[in-house]
């Protein structure tokens, strides 16, 4: 049986009130008492029962995050770093992180969110992989339930978010490719209803426009953010009668898949074909050749999201914040020779 506040109070011949307040740092407890209480609690190994406190305070001191395990093999290293950031930052503020997994396509995703909201299992949510119209945003807004997002939706709703300027990044990348002499620049996309896809694709188009190149829908093939998706999409591009000389990919995993397709055809990436990604995952440093990518500080972004959410929980009244971050173009060998 764990030690309760009662045990501590009894041992000291104090009321549980005093013990509770001494431990919570209230000012109306004498220093002598406080010291005794803290020391005894420590000695007895007392740790407040979080659940009881939660019930009393109507707060779970817990943040919810549901991993979008869309593919059977869920392997995007993005989420490693992301989770590490969420976990560390939450722990720092003595918050817990409740994690679950759901396929965004399936109904059980909705059930999960609703269960945590209605059962007051968490105080707020971290959302990412936003869709342009995302039911989660609408639902949580209606329920008046705190949340923060990475990337934004098109909904006319105010909420806290961190945004990575995928558009500017992609535009910069296209310029770089054009500078390297490329004229036929393809793009491997993600599902069109994803926010990150919309902005990165917009950047691709803007980049073409800015450099006077014409947009060719035939050079855009949809992937699914995985290696395999990138591999297959790249095959289709390389099968074209007039294939591209450069491929910009919506993320690093896609680019890595595309590199594989190129290799299989005996093409030398960085020479015969330029390939670039987006994310800056570690794996991209070690590919052959190393992958040019738009690097975003995933860990820091995760920390920022937690901070934003905690602020929101503390002060529900303050206006929502939007934090903007620009990705950094890391030019590596996969694009450093022209055509």
Partner DNA sequence: TTGTAGGCGTTATCAA
Partner DNA sequence: TTGATAACGCCTACAA
> Do 82 and 298 form a contact (C-beta atoms < 8 A)?
yes
Residue 41 in contact with DNA, rule: CB under 7 A: no
Q: What are the CB-based long-range contacts (under 8 Å, 24+) for 267-272?
A: 267/238, 269/334, 270/333, 270/334, 270/335, 270/336, 270/337, 271/337
Q: And the tokens for 280?
A: 């800056």
Residue 32 binding target from DNA, its own copies, none, CB below 5 to 8 Å by type: DNA
Residue 17 in contact with DNA, rule: CB under 7 A: yes
Number of chain residues interacting with DNA (CB under 7 A): 31
DSSP label at 71? S
Residue 39 in contact with DNA, rule: CB under 7 A: no
The angle subtended at Cα 300 by Cα 125 and Cα 335, nearest 5°, is 120
Give least dist CB 22 to DNA, A. 7
322 forms beta bridges with 161
Stretch of 53-61, 128-136, 211-219, 242-250 lying at the interface with DNA (CB under 7 A): 53-61
8/261 with CB nearer DNA: 8
Q: Which of 45, 58, 241, 242 binds DNA (CB under 7 A)?
A: 58
Residue 112 binding target from DNA, its own copies, none, CB below 5 to 8 Å by type: its own copies
29/90 with CB nearer its own copies: 90
Q: Is the link from the previous residue into 266 a cis peptide, with omega within 30 of 0?
A: no
DSSP label at 223? -
Give least dist CB 16 to its own copies, A. 16
**How many other CB atoms sit within 10 Å of the CB of residue 26?**
12
Residue 93 in contact with DNA, rule: CB under 7 A: no
Instruction: Give burial (CB, 10 Å; 0-12/13-18/19+) of 105.
Output: exposed
Binding interface with DNA (CB under 7 A)? 1-2, 4-6, 13-18, 20-21, 23-24, 27-33, 46, 48-49, 52-53, 55-58
């Amino acid at each position: 049986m764990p030690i309760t506040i009662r045990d501590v109070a009894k041992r000291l011949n104090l009321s549980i009130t005093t013990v509770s307040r001494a431990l919570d740092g209230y000012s109306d407890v004498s220093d002598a008492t406080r010291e005794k209480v803290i020391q005894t609690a420590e000695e007895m190994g007392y740790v407040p029962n979080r659940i009881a406190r939660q019930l009393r305070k109507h707060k779970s001191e817990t943040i919810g995050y549901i991993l979008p395990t869309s593919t059977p093999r869920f392997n995007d290293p993005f989420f490693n770093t992301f989770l590490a950031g969420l976990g560390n930052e939450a722990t720092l503020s003595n918050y817990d992180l409740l994690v679950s997994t759901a396929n965004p396509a399936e109904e059980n995703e909705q059930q999960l969110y609703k269960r945590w909201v209605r059962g007051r299992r968490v105080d707020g949510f971290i959302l990412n992989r936003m869709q342009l119209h995302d039911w989660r945003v609408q639902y949580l807004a209606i329920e008046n339930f705190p949340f923060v997002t990475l990337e934004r939706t098109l909904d006319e709703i105010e909420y806290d978010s961190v945004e990575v300027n995928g558009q500017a990044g992609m535009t910069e990348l296209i310029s770089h490719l054009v500078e390297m002499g490329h004229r036929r620049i393809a793009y491997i996309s993600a599902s069109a209803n994803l926010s990150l896809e919309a902005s990165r694709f917009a950047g691709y188009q803007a980049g073409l426009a800015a450099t006077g190149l014409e947009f060719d829908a035939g050079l855009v093939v949809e992937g699914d953010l995985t290696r395999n998706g990138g591999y297959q999409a790249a095959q289709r591009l390389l099968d074209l009668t007039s294939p591209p000389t450069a491929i910009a990919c919506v993320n690093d995993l896609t680019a890595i898949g595309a590199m594989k397709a190129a290799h299989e055809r005996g093409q030398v990436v960085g020479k015969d074909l330029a390939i670039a990604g987006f994310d800056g995952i570690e794996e991209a440093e070690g590919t052959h050749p190393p992958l040019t990518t738009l690097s975003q500080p995933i860990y820091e972004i995760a920390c920022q999201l937690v901070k934003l959410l905690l602020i929101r929980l503390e002060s529900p009244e303050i206006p929502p914040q939007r934090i903007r971050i620009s990705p950094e173009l890391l030019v590596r060998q996969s694009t450093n020779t022209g055509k």
